[in-house]
């Protein structure tokens, strides 16, 4: 029995997120359906992170077990032949049996993309958050610096979250600003449900001078979702990379 690791990318626009759901198109269901077509067996797959509806990935990691006599590097070609065009396997490799896409992960990196163009985007409408306002970039960077380290992120946790541990260690935050676009990257050992989108929504409020750059400390200490800002929409969010 071989353990196979896949790195995949997908456009999440047409899907109700990663996790299989009744009567809903999901990334997991599409991938498992492709594997069934190839192997004539049901194979369950595990992802490094369960992305929400509309969220994209450039470096999602998936693992599964199989007894099929398919060389590890050939899984990529086989699965891609059975996947819809908005999901693609970038690489496939055999890993030790102990590997687990979710529990073996050390950190994940997400990126959020904002368009500041005066006109709403057409081609990128499902790939960025259109926010045509002036943003105070130095103020956002100042607020971001208070996210580094180990904190209780309850104030940035989405509704109906099932986790009992709100502690996360943020190791890196960065912002790249161009005339019409802003991209923010956050890397941490774990993320709560909708945490990145809540952080982005709050940071943009700082950028629009609706909140002080120093407010992040108070928001974290409040441990109350009502203390933070809005939840940014899903289409600007990308799972970029998973570190093992």
> Which residues are designated catalytic?
52
pLDDT tens-digit readout, 225-236: 999 999 999 999
pTM score over 0.85: yes
Residue 120 phi, psi (nearest 5): -65, 145
What is the pLDDT confidence band of residue 71, given thresholds at 50, 70 and 90?
very high
Q: In the predicted model, what is the mean pLDDT of the chain?
A: 96
* CATH number for region 2-95: 3.30.70.580
Domain ranges of the chain: 2-95, 107-243
pLDDT tens-digit readout, 51-62: 999 999 999 999
Stretch 122-139: mean pLDDT: 96
pLDDT for the residue 159: 82
pLDDT for the residue 73: 93
SS3 112: strand
Q: Rounded CA gap, 157 and 101, in Å?
A: 23
Place of tokens 């990257």: 185
Place of tokens 């687990």: 100
DSSP state of 105: -
Place of tokens 């194979």: 43
* CATH number for region 107-243: 3.30.70.660
Q: 127 - beta bridge partners?
A: none
Q: Rounded CA gap, 36 and 38, in Å?
A: 5
Q: Rounded CA gap, 192 and 188, in Å?
A: 10
* Two domains, one topology: 2-95 and 107-243: yes
pLDDT tens-digit readout, 183-214: 999 999 999 999 999 999 999 999 999 999 99
């Amino acid at each position: 029995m071989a353990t196979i690791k896949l790195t995949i990318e997908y456009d999440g626009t047409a899907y109700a997120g990663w996790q299989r759901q009744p009567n809903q198109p999901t990334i997991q269901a599409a991938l498992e359906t492709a594997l069934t077509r190839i192997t004539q067996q049901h194979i369950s797959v595990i992802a490094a992170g369960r992305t929400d509806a509309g969220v994209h990935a450039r470096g999602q990691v998936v693992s599964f077990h199989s007894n099929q006599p398919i060389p590890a590097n050939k899984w990529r070609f086989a699965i891609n032949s059975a996947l819809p065009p908005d999901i693609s396997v970038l690489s496939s490799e055999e890993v030790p049996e102990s590997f687990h896409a979710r529990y073996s992960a050390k950190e994940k990196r997400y990126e959020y993309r904002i368009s500041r163009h005066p006109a709403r985007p057409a081609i990128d409408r499902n790939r960025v958050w259109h926010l045509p306002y002036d943003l105070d970039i130095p103020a956002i960077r100042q607020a971001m610096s208070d996210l580094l380290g180990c904190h209780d992120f309850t104030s940035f946790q989405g509704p109906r979250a099932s986790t009992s541990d709100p502690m996360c260690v943020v190791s890196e935050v960065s912002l790249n600003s161009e005339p019409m676009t802003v991209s923010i990257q956050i890397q941490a050992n774990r993320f709560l449900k909708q945490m990145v989108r809540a952080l982005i929504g709050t940071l943009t409020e700082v950028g629009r001078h609706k909140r002080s750059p120093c407010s992040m400390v108070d928001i974290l200490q409040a441990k109350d979702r009502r203390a933070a800002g809005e939840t940014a929409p899903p289409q600007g969010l990308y799972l970029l990379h998973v570190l093992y």
